[in-house]
Amino acid sequence: MNAPERNLHFTSTNSGELARIVRVNEEIKAIVATAFRINLMALNAIFLAKRAGNAALGFGVLSNELRRFAQDLTRHMASLRDMTSGSVGSVTGVVQQQRNSAILAAAIRLSGDGVPGVREARKRGATRLAEQQAKLRTLDMRLRASVEETQQLVELGGVLARSAKIEAAYGGGFSPALMQVSTDFAEVIAQIKRSLEILGKERLVKD
């Protein structure tokens, strides 16, 4: 019997990879939003330090640094986003190739291996699939390397937030306000760290 086979509905294996890309994208979006928040917080901190005058000179310098950190982080995340956009294309290519190969295999099963041209068609399909999977693995490695770089940058952000807290102690009458701002910085950076940890565990391809 050669009616359409139920196994032509290939949904399970690679829909997982698309779902992983969606998760990675969502995490990146969360970090980008947080980086934007740090930028605004740093601007406010700069104004606050100016109002505090000489007592908050150090805090002002650190606020400037935190603002630069937020801008660097935004750039890093934009590059991560580009990578995940590219990987959607690669995963789709793999999904399509796997589906086509599986349907062709079903056709060959029905027709028998003796049909001319089927061996070559299988070989071509396997080569294309291997190429697309290799492309996806390369993207995955680049993504991981980029996440590691971003983690190092965020470590620096953590150090800046801690230093801002120390400087806040010397802020005289503005000390409680500066302390509050530096605590907020530390909390937001901790949140980014958690997101990056999740991102670091995600893989575009199964090991």
Partner 1 sequence: MKQAHCIYQDDTHRWLAIARDPTKPGYIIDTNEYVVVHGEEALLCDPGGIEIFPAVFSALSAECDPTRLAGIFASHQDPDIISSLALWLEFKPDLKCYTSWLWQSFLPHFGGQDSTFVTIPDPGMTIRLGGLELQAIPAHYLHSSGNFHLYDPKAKILFSGDVGAALLPPDHNELYVEDFSRHIRHAEGFHKRWMGSDRAKRDWCERVSRLDIDMMVPQHGAIYQGADVQRFINWFAALEVGVLRG
- CA–CA gap between residue 21 and residue 203 (Å, rounded): 8
Q: Supply 54's token pair.
A: 């000489």
From 43, 57, 103, 156, residue interacting with partner 1 (rule: CB under 8 A): 103
Q: Which is nearer to partner 1, 10 or 36 (CB)?
A: 10
Q: Which is nearer to partner 1, 43 or 108 (CB)?
A: 108
- CA–CA gap between residue 176 and residue 143 (Å, rounded): 41
Q: Which is nearer to partner 1, 4 or 173 (CB)?
A: 4
Binding mask 33-52 for partner 1 (x = CB under 8 A): --------------------
5 binds partner 1 (CB under 8 A): yes
Could you tell me the sign of the dihedral formed by the alpha carbons of 192, 198, 202, 207, in that order?
Answer: positive
Q: What is the dihedral of CA 58, 63, 65, 68, to 10 degrees?
A: -160
From 63, 90, 101, 195, residue interacting with partner 1 (rule: CB under 8 A): 101
124 binds partner 1 (CB under 8 A): yes
115 binds partner 1 (CB under 8 A): yes
Angle separating helix axes 12-52 and 175-201, nearest 10 degrees: 160
> Hey, how many other C-beta atoms are within 10 angstroms of the C-beta on 35?
23
Closest residue by Cα to residue 50 from 203, 191, 177: 177
125 binds partner 1 (CB under 8 A): yes
Contact region for partner 1 (CB under 8 A) — 28-36, 53-61, 71-79, 97-105? Answer: 97-105
8 binds partner 1 (CB under 8 A): yes
- CA–CA gap between residue 202 and residue 44 (Å, rounded): 35
93 binds partner 1 (CB under 8 A): no
Interface residue list for partner 1 (CB under 8 A)? 1-5, 8, 96, 100-101, 103-104, 106-112, 115-118, 121, 124-125
